[in-house]
A and B are shown apart, each in its own frame.
Chain A
Amino acid sequence: MMPGAGSRRAVALHLAVIAVLFALNFILPEYHRGIFSRVMVLAVFAMGYNILFGYTGLLSLGHAMFFAAGLYGAGLPLYHLGWGVPESFVVGLACGVVLSAAVGVLALRTTGVAFMIVTMMFSQVFYLATLYFTTYTRGEEGLVLPQAARRVELGGVALDLTNPASRYMIALAMFSIVLLATLALVRAPFGRTLVAIRENEERMRMLGYDVFRAKLSAVILSGLFCAASGAAYALLFGYVGSGFASIQYSILPLLWVLLGGAATTLGPLIGTLFMFYVIDITSAYTSAYLLLVGVALILLILFFPRGLLGSIRERWLPWLP
């Protein structure tokens, strides 16, 4: 396989996925369109996680804080200060960048299991802070962002974020940008540097690379994507609550990425979608659906140890990015 051909195929595949998702807006029944809107937003969270876990090899158990930084960063100014949607979204992104930079500087002094624990502890601090400042956050109960405030004027056109079609298209736009950015990243020298660090950090250091700087950049980029997802979730779905900062939301992106395939650009989407539908379908039949989810995960690990797309790449499509 010529690298050029594989590269073209990869780009074509990603554009095709975006085109299919665009078409689904007009095809999917209403309920499933709503699910896809949520899944695309959450897949951005998973893609952010994938940058760090899949490509850089850093296992974090604290990414809920980056998602929640975006969620609260966007939600609180809109709720308390009456800020508009674009400004609130930018604040959400800024919160993610600042928090990930601060956490990265401190947590990257550790590696392996210690990194996992340190990120988890930071995330717990963030979670408890959302509970502690209940006066502003309403803690675990959360805040409803008023429907009337979730509108944006773009070039004289009013966009209602509570409209299902607008919501789908905004989710798709953000998903597409992050997906293509991830694709560009992993094909760029910086992406290859991250993969090389994952494979052999010492060798990269000996070759003269500034490993800390590369890893910190990865943490910040990962935090930015996760915060974008959190901010979009708040603004599109109108709810901000500390449940999104809990440990569960640190484990979920790990699960989605593992399911879809770590270090694959489309794996996070596949994993998020798969997990969403497994829960949605099985919960209709039994209250023990988490047991079925567990069995499905075990089967996947047995037969697709590198996740769905990871295993497909390994066996059949080596050009998949």
Chain B
Amino acid sequence: MTDRRNVSSIIRNPISRRSALKGLAATAAIGTAPGFVRYSQAQSSAPIKIGFQAHRTGIGASYGRWYERTTAAAVKLINEAGGINGRPIEIITEDDGTDAARGAEVIEKFANQHKTDIVYGTLFSHVVVGSAPAAGELKMPYYVVSEGYHVASGKMNRWVLQPGITDVKAQTRSVAPWITSNVGKKITMIYPDYAFGHDHRDFFAPAAVEQGGEVIAQIPIPPTETSFTRYFPQIPADTDVIYHVMVGPAVLTFVKELGEFYGGSGPALFGFIDSLEAVDINSPGLEFLEGSHFWEGMPRYLQEGASEAEIAYRDAVGLDENGASVNDPKDVSTNAHSFGCWETLYVIKAAMEAADYKGPEDRAKLIEATEAMTEFAEGKEHPQGDKVFNGKIHQCFGHQNISVVENQKLKVVHRTSIEDGMYEPEADYTTQTL
């Protein structure tokens, strides 16, 4: 605004010799002032704008809250260390309402209104899938932290990448050998009867069979269901382990009713922490989970022997040893997923540095630089562990944690190898034109 007023006043008033001299003197003075140095380098030191598509409202809001905190913590550290290519990161957040249609609109808003360099975010698959067409049309790099198989499936487009969190196919494949070797071979699966549950059904069942296990029953639960007891008689009596992936508000009822149904005995349980992200394991009704096992991307509770990088990450994000906010012990994190924000931001940093990214005209180079990555070493950039990245399917592969509920805390009992989750790629995005 100030600049515009000066320009217009200059246009209105003809320049006299005196004013011209004054102007020259002022220009020289400003030019030597420290503040001006920054201004003159505005092109090169202007912030890199990252549009952050966040679940601030809607069903994903508890994830969104922690995605935002993790993002803020990582960006603070990156900026303190000099930013990316000498430029600070500026995060511009828009709420996607955990809604697919709004997600696409938000992508357009980032590209056309905020003029961000790239877009990054979000968790829920439908928002990512709904946003992908807009990202592709606008040629906007879209780094997601979603864990769905949608990216690796090849059904998105070349502008959508998932380098900071593993996908559900790899996760289910990783845990299958441990379950069949340590918990039991006769498995009953209980899952929600929609795409998320079907992914578990379709990916876990073959993996379990490969490992000598047997899925003896599959019990889909309709998404509108609020009470589950009537489904439990379908669980075969010879079941060794119940594999459950219920999500949403009904999960507490599900676990409570399962506990009441078996009354302290019954098959072992294996679940995905997705069911209980942001939920206190000590919540009433969850006592029945004692002794059961969960998949965790990154441990919620601080484990003995945690690496320095992991401890530094937890401190930066503001996690106490129980995985809740240091400011509010009841504010439980979604750490099994939100670590992916941290790691994705560091991948973006590395890719931008590799591409010598200067602005939106280098977006294609940025995609190619990301695709060229193959490995991420464990460390402060990747506190969850080392990873392998497949540039053809835009997906990373990493370690998974299997934890047991012990004294109402989650304790890691097994860490899978990266190879446990690897599978044959079904796509190659690099054949698509940029």
Q: Please give the residue numbers on chain A whose beta carbons come within 8 Å of chain B beta carbons, in ascending order.
A: 29-31, 34-35, 38, 124, 128, 131-132, 134-135, 138-145, 147, 162, 237-239, 241-244, 280, 283-284, 287, 289-290
Contact = CB atoms under 8 A, between A and B. Distances in A.
B415 interface: no
B205 to A, nearest CB: 15
Interface size class of B (residues with CB under 8 A): 35 or more
A243 B124 CA distance: 12
Interface in B71-117: 94-95, 97, 99-101, 104-105, 108-109, 111-113
B133 A131 contact: no
A147 B125 contact: no
10 tightest CB-CB pairs across the interface, nearest first? A238-B133, A31-B112, A139-B195, A30-B112, A31-B113, A141-B195, A139-B194, A287-B56, A131-B194, A141-B125
A139 B101 CA distance: 15
6 contacts: A134-B198, A138-B195, A142-B100, A239-B130, A241-B129, A289-B57
Contacts of B223: 128, 131
Contacts of B224: 124, 128
B59 to A, nearest CB: 10
B100 A243 contact: yes
Given A140-B196, A145-B133, 7 more contacts: A124-B224, A141-B195, A142-B126, A142-B130, A144-B155, A239-B132, A280-B109
A124 B198 CA distance: 20
Contacts, number: 100
B171 interface: no
Contacts of A131: 193-195, 223
A34 B140 CA distance: 16
B128 to A, nearest CB: 9
A239 B133 contact: yes
Contacts of B111: 31
A132 B100 contact: no
A239 B129 contact: yes
A140 B99 CA distance: 10
A231 B65 CA distance: 35
Contacts of A283: 94-95, 97
A231 to B, nearest CB: 15
A185 to B, nearest CB: 28
Interface string B259-296: 00000000000000000000000000000000000000
B114 to A, nearest CB: 9
